[in-house]
C-alpha cells in the first residue's frame, strides 16, 4: 500500500509559524521590486492544490500587471471606499479614513480570483451550492501561506465593485469574483495584524469560539 509523506515535528512547527505570521498587507508596505516568475508560479501552484468540493477545482486566476487595468480597478475601490466609512461609528470613521486599505497600484502583481460554476452537478455541492465558492477561498488561503513562506506580501481587496473587475479583465458572464489580491515584496511584516495593533477589533480567544458537542442555551 502506498503511503503519503509523513512530516516531522519541526516541519509542523514551521507551518504553524507561517500561519501565525501571515499578514494582510496594505499599500503603504509594498515595494516596487518585481516578483520572480518562479515565485508567482509557486503561489499559483499552491492555489490549484487546495481542496475543492467534488474535486471540482472551480477556480480561475487572472494575473494583472497592466497599469491601465489597475487604475480602472483602483477607481472602483475609491468609489466604494468613500461609501464604506458611513457604515461605521463616528470614532471608527476617523480611524477608517486614515487606513490605507489597498495596494492595487503599489503592488507589482494583482491577481483576480474567480469561481467558475460547473454546468453539471458537483459531488458534495448539491445540498450546499456555496461549497464551490468556499473551495475557491481555500485556494486563496493556500496562496497567502505560500506567499508568506516566500516573504512576499499579499493583500485581499474586498472594497470593490465585482462587476467592474469582471469588465476590466473581460471575465465570462457566469464567473463570480471571489478575491482581488495584491502581491509584492514589502518593507516589513508587522508583528501583529494591523487592525489588531490599531485596536479596531480585539483578538478572540480560542475558548470563546469552540464549543463541546453543541451550543449551550444563553
Q: What is the mean pLDDT of each run of 10 residues along the chain (218 residues)?
A: 91 98 93 97 98 98 98 95 81 76 94 97 97 98 98 97 98 98 97 90 94 88
Q: What's the pLDDT at 11?
A: 98
What the chain holds in terms of domains, given with CATH numbers, is 29-198 (3.40.109.10)
Q: What's the pLDDT at 3?
A: 87
DSSP letter for 104, please: T
Rounded to 5°, angle at Cα 10 from 210 and 136? 55
CA distances from 59 to 53, 73, 117, 179 (A): 12, 20, 9, 11
Q: What's the pLDDT at 218?
A: 63
Q: How far apart are CA 158 and CA 215, in angstroms?
A: 31
Task: Output Rg (C-alpha) for the chain, integer angstroms.
Answer: 19
Annotate 170-216 with DSSP letters as a single string.
T--TT-EEEEEEEEE-BS---SS-HHHHTTSSPPPPGGGT--SSSPP
Q: How far apart are CA 8 and CA 173, in angstroms?
A: 46
Side-chain-side CA neighbours of 161 within 13 Å: the count stands at 14
Q: What's the pLDDT at 213?
A: 95
- Continuous segment of H or E residues that includes residue 61: strand 59-64
Side-chain-side CA neighbours of 34 within 13 Å: the count stands at 5
Q: What's the pLDDT at 27?
A: 83
Compute the CA torsion angle 109, 84, 78, 116 (nearest 10 deg).
Answer: 40
- pTM exceeding 0.85: yes
Amino acid at each position: 500500500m502506498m503511503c503519503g509523506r509523513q512530516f516531522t515535528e519541526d516541519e509542523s512547527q514551521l507551518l504553524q509559524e507561517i500561519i501565525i505570521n501571515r499578514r494582510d498587507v496594505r499599500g503603504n508596505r509594498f515595494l516596487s521590486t518585481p516578483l520572480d516568475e518562479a515565485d508567482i508560479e509557486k503561489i499559483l501552484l499552491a492555489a490549484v492544490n487546495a481542496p475543492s468540493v467534488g474535486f471540482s477545482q472551480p477556480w480561475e486566476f487572472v494575473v494583472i500587471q497592466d497599469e491601465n487595468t489597475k487604475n480602472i480597478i483602483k477607481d472602483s475601490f475609491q468609489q466604494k471606499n468613500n461609501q464604506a466609512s458611513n457604515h461605521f461609528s463616528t470614532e471608527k470613521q476617523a480611524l477608517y479614513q486614515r487606513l490605507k486599505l489597498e495596494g492595487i497600484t503599489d503592488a507589482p502583481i494583482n491577481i483576480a480570483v474567480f469561481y467558475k460554476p460547473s454546468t453539471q452537478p458537483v459531488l458534495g455541492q448539491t445540498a450546499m451550492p456555496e461549497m464551490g465558492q468556499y473551495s475557491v477561498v481555500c485556494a486563496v488561503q493556500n496562496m497567502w501561506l505560500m506567499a508568506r513562506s516566500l516573504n512576499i506580501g499579499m493583500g485581499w481587496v474586498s472594497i470593490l465593485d465585482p462587476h467592474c473587475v469582471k469588465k476590466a479583465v473581460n471575465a465570462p458572464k457566469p464567473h463570480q469574483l471571489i478575491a482581488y489580491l495584491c502581491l509584492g515584496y514589502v518593507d516589513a511584516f508587522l508583528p501583529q495584524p494591523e487592525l489588531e495593533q490599531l485596536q479596531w477589533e480585539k483578538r478572540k480567544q480560542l475558548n470563546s469560539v469552540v464549543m463541546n458537542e453543541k451550543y449551550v442555551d444563553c
